[in-house]
Structure 1
Amino acid sequence: MIMRLIFIFAQYPECEVLARTESGWVCGAKRQSASGSDYASFRGVPYAKQPLGELRFQELQPADPWDGAFNASIEGPSCPFHDIFYSTLQQSQSVAEDCIRVNVHVPYKSLPDPKAEVLTSGGLPIVVFIHGGGWICGSGDSDFNGPEYLVEKGVIVVTFNYRLDVFGFLTLNTAKVPGNNGLRDMLTLLRWVRANARSFGGDPDEVTLGGQSAGSASAHLLSLSPASAGLFKRLWLMSGTAIPSFYTTSPAYSQQVTTVYLTLLGINSTDYDAVHDQLVQMPLEVLNNASGVLLAQLGVTSFVPVVETQIPGVTPILEDDPETLIAKGNGNNITLVVGFTSDECEANRPRLTEINAVALYQANPLAGLNPHLVFTLPANVTAEMAKRVGERYFSDSVVTMDKFIKLCTETYFAYPAIKLARARRANGGAPVYLYKYGYEAEYSVFKIARNLTYTGAGHAEDMNRVFKVNSLPLPNSASDSKMTERMSDLVANFAINNVPSFGSHAWRPVESQLKYNHVTDPDNHQFTRLENSDEDMVDFFDTLAKL
């Protein structure tokens, strides 16, 4: 062992930081946090065998071991994607199917000496974060998910890639293409974190799982699954829940999307093993082009998580409708923070304009409902729901993008977050914290990158105060910096102490009377009853659900 260590250090004298994973040594780089403190950064590390060839649609296998030290100073490829959200904010090194990579960022002084024995107890809390992007785009890279704010707070930060789009969520209901592979990738990553945490100075029993948008919905879905037991202790959800809102877990939807997709590829066989054999032989570009055509027809999502059927030899991740699992108490033992922003869909205005969402709604008012309702309820019920939605949001029969964005914000994000918090509180169990983020940044990433103008906080703007957007340097702002300090403190202290707090101020959990932590500026995190507009919105959707 000693000779092996000497060989490693002699072979890589330029290596600034070293750690040993189950697959081999990784050579990272020393970097600086937002305040200038050092941290050890290991980027682009394979956390499983790459899903190439026959493995393209299967559950991940353990990574092959490597000799020497893996170069973890740069990020690996992003998974194949269709960018509907990030634009210039996502700046991938490359795009390829060998994208199953993890980034681990450790406060420098807490990284264990690689010459010493691996820790057997203690260690820093770990924050594992799942990127958003509608299961269509995004990555764990530091262009949009920089660790510089959070890593200086005494936690280890882990971001990663998972299979997207057709590669991550196509299902044929067979052992070869079981579906939900993106979720399976996330579980594989969490198991990797548990197995390798000590080597990076982390505590495998103190993992906080977080996510934003589709990443947030994914994190919540995992918490409802027995397959994730023991892999994390707490959840921080930003603008997304397992409650289907901007997507549907309906098998009927999944089957419909699969049929259309295979037709686009010219595949009409009903022998799904034969279909699999064709799919794994097709070039990446062919599969990607066809899924791009499908996405153009559907708008903002296509292949998404689905309720699974029992397949011999395959452990299901999502066994039932998420709301049924919530009602049964799944995940009640996990402390939960769930939040939404005041003006979510403003940041999505460019995509909504691109697909002409107003015209789509005018042509079919069912487009004003969340898709899960359309695929799970009778047509006469959804027709009545659509009628009432139209009366509420377009009372003068004039449909504008501004009005549609309000509907989008409340239907897809605000109501599901409040509904989840209320359900969890009613079920008992671990505390649940609810927040509404309404701070209007002086320099908003999305306003600058996309030349947008709106008031309030759009989608992902709370996340941008926890993870740094390195692809777009922003001007200095005392107020924005203070909000960054507050939000990153809240997440770090939640991971450390199980309570979101900054300074002497701690957020309060949901009580019998529904309240939320309303964030309007760095110093105003008021625990208060819902605003009248939010109470009215909740009453409306509660009534709608009773039709």
Structure 2
Amino acid sequence: MDNKQIIYFGALILLYVGVFACTARSECDVLARTTSGWVRGTRRLARRGCVYASFRGIPYARQPYGELRFQELQPAEPWDGILDATTEGPVCPYNEVTLYGPLWQPQGVSEGCIHVNVHVPIADLPNPYKKVDPCGGLPIVVHVHGGAFVWGSGDADVHGPEHIISKGVIVITLNYRLGVIGLLSMNNIKIPGNNALRDVVTALRWVQANARFFGGNPDEVTLSGLSGGATFAHVLTMSPAAAGLFKRVWLMSGTAIQSYYTASPVYAQETANMLLSYLGINCTDDEEIHAQLIKIPIGELITASGKVRARRGLTSFVPVIETPRPGFTTILSEDPEVLLAQGKGNNIPMVIGLTNKECETIRRMLEESHIIEMFKRNPLTSLHLGAVYSLPPNVTARMAEKMRQRYFRGAPTMDEFVRLCSDSLFAYPVLKAARARVMAGGAPVYLYKFAYNAEYSPIKQALNLTYCGAGHSEDLTHIYQVNTWPLSPSAADEAMKDMMTDLYVNFIKYNDPSPGDVSWPPYPRNQYFYIRDAWNKRYIKMTQCDQDMVKFYDKLYGRR
């Protein structure tokens, strides 16, 4: 048994001892104040015996029931007594998908899902009965979960803080309204779209107001996101609505570059019309449509949105370029790529990463959606939605033919489509976003490519996947703990968790993720930090394959 295994099993023993020792609830409870009232959390055990205070299911706004279903969130209502924050709240209503399978285990489903989870090293939790210290405090990371905008949560099933909580940071995760509730756009004063993004802004405002109650520093907030959550985080770097709410951003396999979504109002309107058709709403008056939508039972609304998704694709309800409306905070008033080219958000330090086998994680989902048959019927399936909704049909037809020539030797196969998917939806947008930030100047941008082939991967094991390398979200599992799929530790996997969490926490604390023994300079052209194992850290020239891919897409879509 090596030293890491001894430490691991020692921590398990401490956990069991702690569980049996906490026979009286008061011995395990921890208290904190918020602007809405008192909350009671509980002590939990992290890696290597670190004890932390965990407050779960804290409302950060009023729950959006009834007439509030499509409104911007209102301030949380104060409560009497002490709120039980020892367990997570329900997740937001969602469409069933198969990405995480048994890894995702929601604790109920409800429109009353607007909660944050706050995790604090126990030694740094302030005495709630003393005056709050207006200075100092731990840095905070607020993580926005992924899920293609239609499912997911900030729960500890997939986003456990145990890997990083011992390194002197406060970890906050959140829920936001999903799919049709969070991103339906009718382009009117009642339902302008982008409510999910406003939810994240509201949560960040809550953090600013409550950080010091938990021992945190509101001036040192890092916004982090994966996939669709990274898209949200990137959009918010360029939005005046989020100005001053966070200081730096870490993006994993997602950007505001339009690839797996389009911010086109035309697309949003077509999606909305399709939804109304499935719901049997035939009127044209905005007030009447809204009145019917807020009365429809949530189950019926989710079922109808699932039918839309079956026709439009996974990302049907998405961020949209919106017209400013009274009563709503404007999030996105222009094309994200235009904002990026204008240098919006270039004052915010950024880490942005991708994995080397992105779409291998969603291979089964692609198979179940019969993507090859869809591609045969409609070659435009190979293009990103932004191109389809902004270019003439004769142009997109030529582009689709170029995609076919690059990726398919004959009859299309799933292996070939997975490669196309990885390049088109994830790798190229990440590399393009990094380059655009560098060209605009400003704060440093750090780029990485994660290619570690874990010995024990919860994603591969839970989903019975066998590819070599790292698929979509596997970098996340080395920063946040997957608690629903416990695995025996290996020395290599534990070393990778240490390295990735060091990079993450270094950036949160110092604006620089560099590991102690290797320099990771800000991104110049054609270079990135290549993460293949924990002992062979390399800052290298971009692979020839990646360089060729970037040149292809620059030429295909027209470099901007």
The one-letter amino acid paired with 1:68 is: G
How far apart are the structure 2 equivalents of 1:14 and 1:74? 17
Match of 1:188 among 184, 199, 202: 202
Match of 1:46 among 59, 75, 97: 59
- The question of 1:417 aligning with 2:417 is answered no
Partner of 2:20: none
1:243-282 correspondence to structure 2 within 5 Å? 243-282=257-296
Match of 2:32 among 8, 19, 28: 19
How far apart are the structure 1 equivalents of 2:217 and 2:270? 43
Does structure 2 conserve the Cα–Cα contact (< 8 Å) formed by 1:32 and 1:38?
Answer: yes
The one-letter amino acid paired with 1:541 is: Y
Partner of 2:93: 80
How far apart are the structure 2 equivalents of 1:219 and 1:147? 19
Does structure 2 conserve the Cα–Cα contact (< 8 Å) formed by 1:58 and 1:178?
Answer: no
How far apart are the structure 2 equivalents of 1:381 and 1:121? 58
Partner of 1:236: 250
The one-letter amino acid paired with 1:533 is: C
- The question of 1:489 aligning with 2:502 is answered yes
How far apart are the structure 2 equivalents of 1:74 and 1:14? 17
4+ residue segments displaced more than 4 Å: 12-15
How far apart are the structure 2 equivalents of 1:215 and 1:314? 21
Partner of 1:333: 347
SS at match of 1:423: helix
1:348-359 correspondence to structure 2 within 5 Å? 348-359=362-373
- The question of 1:427 aligning with 2:427 is answered no
Root-mean-square deviation over aligned CA pairs? 1.1
- The question of 1:538 aligning with 2:529 is answered no
Match of 1:363 among 355, 374, 377: 377
Match of 1:218 among 229, 232, 235: 232
Match of 2:132 among 110, 118, 136: 118
SS at match of 1:35: helix
Identity of aligned residues (%): 54
1:385-534 correspondence to structure 2 within 5 Å? 385-394=399-408, 396-511=409-524, 513-534=525-546
Higher mean displacement: 521-530 or 316-325? 521-530
How far 1:478 sits from its partner (Å)?
Answer: 0.8
- The question of 1:92 aligning with 2:106 is answered yes
How far apart are the structure 1 equivalents of 2:306 and 2:194? 19
Superposed CA deviations along residues 162-206 of structure 1, whole A, max 9, x for unmatched, are 000100000112232121000000000000000000000000000
SS at match of 2:389: helix
How far 1:465 sits from its partner (Å)?
Answer: 0.2
How far apart are the structure 2 equivalents of 1:40 and 1:15? 9
Superposed CA deviations along residues 79-99 of structure 1, whole A, max 9, x for unmatched, are 011232221111011000000
How far apart are the structure 2 equivalents of 1:314 and 1:166? 17
The one-letter amino acid paired with 1:267 is: I
How far apart are the structure 2 equivalents of 1:313 and 1:242? 25
How far apart are the structure 1 equivalents of 2:519 and 2:134? 32
Superposed CA deviations along residues 477-502 of structure 1, whole A, max 9, x for unmatched, are 11011101100111111001111133
SS at match of 1:286: helix
Partner of 1:143: 157
How far apart are the structure 2 equivalents of 1:473 and 1:341? 23
How far apart are the structure 2 equivalents of 1:83 and 1:205? 38
Query: Which structure 1 segments of 5+ residues have no match?
Result: 1-11
The one-letter amino acid paired with 1:42 is: F
Does structure 2 conserve the Cα–Cα contact (< 8 Å) formed by 1:205 and 1:232?
Answer: yes
Match of 2:80 among 67, 73, 88: 67
SS at match of 1:51: coil
Superposed CA deviations along residues 63-83 of structure 1, whole A, max 9, x for unmatched, are 000011100000000001123
Does structure 1 conserve the Cα–Cα contact (< 8 Å) formed by 2:28 and 2:43?
Answer: no
Does structure 2 conserve the Cα–Cα contact (< 8 Å) formed by 1:500 and 1:506?
Answer: no
How far apart are the structure 1 equivalents of 2:339 and 2:533? 36
SS at match of 2:49: coil
Higher mean displacement: 501-510 or 444-453? 501-510
How far apart are the structure 2 equivalents of 1:22 and 1:501? 37
SS at match of 1:63: coil
Partner of 2:21: none
How far 1:526 sits from its partner (Å)?
Answer: 1.0
How far 1:346 sits from its partner (Å)?
Answer: 0.3
SS at match of 2:537: strand
SS at match of 2:203: helix
Does structure 1 conserve the Cα–Cα contact (< 8 Å) formed by 2:514 and 2:521?
Answer: no
Superposed CA deviations along residues 250-303 of structure 1, whole A, max 9, x for unmatched, are 111000000000000000111111111001111111101111111122232110
TM-score of the aligned structures, taking structure 1 as reference length: 0.96
- The question of 1:304 aligning with 2:318 is answered yes
How far apart are the structure 1 equivalents of 2:58 and 2:325? 31
How far apart are the structure 2 equivalents of 1:22 and 1:29? 20
TM-score of the aligned structures, taking structure 2 as reference length: 0.94
Does structure 1 conserve the Cα–Cα contact (< 8 Å) formed by 2:142 and 2:171?
Answer: yes
Q: CA 1:83/1:508 → structure 2, altered by over 3 Å: closer, same or farther?
A: farther
1:148-187 correspondence to structure 2 within 5 Å? 148-187=162-201
Superposed CA deviations along residues 84-121 of structure 1, whole A, max 9, x for unmatched, are 22211110110000000000000110000112111201
How far apart are the structure 2 equivalents of 1:123 and 1:175? 41
Does structure 2 conserve the Cα–Cα contact (< 8 Å) formed by 1:80 and 1:164?
Answer: yes
How far apart are the structure 1 equivalents of 2:244 and 2:198? 15
SS at match of 1:306: coil
How far 1:13 sits from its partner (Å)?
Answer: 4.5
Match of 1:132 among 146, 164, 182: 146
Does structure 2 conserve the Cα–Cα contact (< 8 Å) formed by 1:86 and 1:138?
Answer: no
How far apart are the structure 2 equivalents of 1:76 and 1:263? 33
The one-letter amino acid paired with 2:58 is: V
Does structure 2 conserve the Cα–Cα contact (< 8 Å) formed by 1:128 and 1:157?
Answer: yes
Does structure 1 conserve the Cα–Cα contact (< 8 Å) formed by 2:38 and 2:81?
Answer: yes
How far apart are the structure 2 equivalents of 1:399 and 1:326? 35
How far 1:34 sits from its partner (Å)?
Answer: 1.4
The one-letter amino acid paired with 1:324 is: V
Aligned length: 534
How far apart are the structure 1 equivalents of 2:462 and 2:310? 23
Query: Which structure 2 segments of 5+ residues have no match?
Result: 1-24
How far apart are the structure 1 equivalents of 2:183 and 2:403? 30
The one-letter amino acid paired with 2:473 is: A
Match of 1:292 among 274, 286, 306: 306
How far apart are the structure 1 equivalents of 2:73 and 2:330? 14
How far apart are the structure 1 equivalents of 2:520 and 2:94? 37
